[in-house]
Amino acid sequence: MRFSWDRFSLDFTSKTHIMGILNVTPDSFSDGGEFFDMEAAVKRAHEMVDHGADIIDIGGQSTRPGSLPVGLEEEIRRTVPVIEAIAGDIPVPVSIDTYQAGVASKALEAGASMVNDISGLRFDPGMARVAAEADVPVVLMHIRGTPREMQKDPVYEALVPEGMEYLRTSAAIARDAGVERLIIDPGIGFGKTFEHNLELIASIGEFAKMGYPVLVGPSRKAFIGAILGGVSEDRRLEGTAAVVTACVLNGAHLVRVHDVAEMKKVVTVADAIRTGRV
């Protein structure tokens, strides 16, 4: 599988790609406020590219459990200036992490070249059209409910089949609108229990059978803290490394992480184990 568009190319057969997280928010679960300042955000984007990020994913509102949505104009205000400042200066794609079509439209005009939609094109019916008109790749994620209430007793009869069916429907929405390049994300932590997250990691290969590149975003998440005895977000680096290794060995094509420099090393070793070559 290989995507080529604009000036970018991603070959998913050559290595596991790294999507670096850049939250320009005051309240994201792990790094909220850290890069809310424009200068800090731009500096961080360049650092992640230097550390080996293949994509920079910029988000302007927190989607942590219990979070409330921010308005369209505020999300645009947070994200678009950063995109304008970095998109022409870095050699990798900038992804806009949003489920609002209006935000995606402004971000794409500003230089973003991917869309990462946690709702799988479900929250805003205009999103598929916006992405199709821009002819950019789209990440479709599985979520149960909305961020505000997704962790209130999530129950499934069959987690993996239900997640796959959700993503098939999202892919059909995308294709019907004319979106040609799709990436799927099983949605670790989005309407999932501790046990659900572990099941998804073990089942990445099943999602890969759908025929799309698979992205997994485990970085610093609560289930890692729970495994390690309740450690805080800033003490989950080693746990994240273990989960990223498992994701690579189980067939993930992309991992979405905060700690790019460290996870680049982890992915490089895991890829060597998986492929038998350096």
Q: What is the pTM of this model?
A: 0.94
Question: Dihedral through CA 57, CA 61, CA 66, CA 71, nearest 10?
Answer: -150
Q: Which residues are catalytic?
A: 221, 256
Domain residue extents for the chain: 2-275
Whole-number Å distance between alpha carbons of 122 and 74: 21
Q: Which string of b and e fits 95-129 if b means at least 16 CB within 10 Å?
A: bbbbbbbbbbbbbbebbbbbbbbbbbbbbbeebbb
Q: Which string of b and e fits 254-277 if b means at least 16 CB within 10 Å?
A: bbbbbbbebbbebbeebbeebeee
Structure tokens at 76: 């645009």
Number of Cβ atoms within 10 Å of the Cβ of 144: 20
Largest CA-CA distance found in the chain, in angstroms, rounded: 49
SS3 sequence, 54-100? CEEEEECCCCCCCCCCCCHHHHHHHHHHHHHHHCCCCCCCEEEECCC
Question: pLDDT tens, 151-162?
Answer: 898 999 999 999
Mean pLDDT over 36-64 rounds to 92
Phi, psi of 257 (to 5 degrees): -140, 160
Fold of 2-275: TIM Barrel (3.20.20)
pLDDT range class, residue 32, cuts 50, 70, 90: very low
Question: pLDDT tens, 75-122?
Answer: 999 999 999 999 999 999 999 999 999 999 999 999 999 999 999 999
Mean pLDDT over 201-222 rounds to 97
Question: 145-149, 160-164, 226-230, 272-276: lowest mean pLDDT where?
Answer: 145-149
pLDDT range class, residue 38, cuts 50, 70, 90: confident
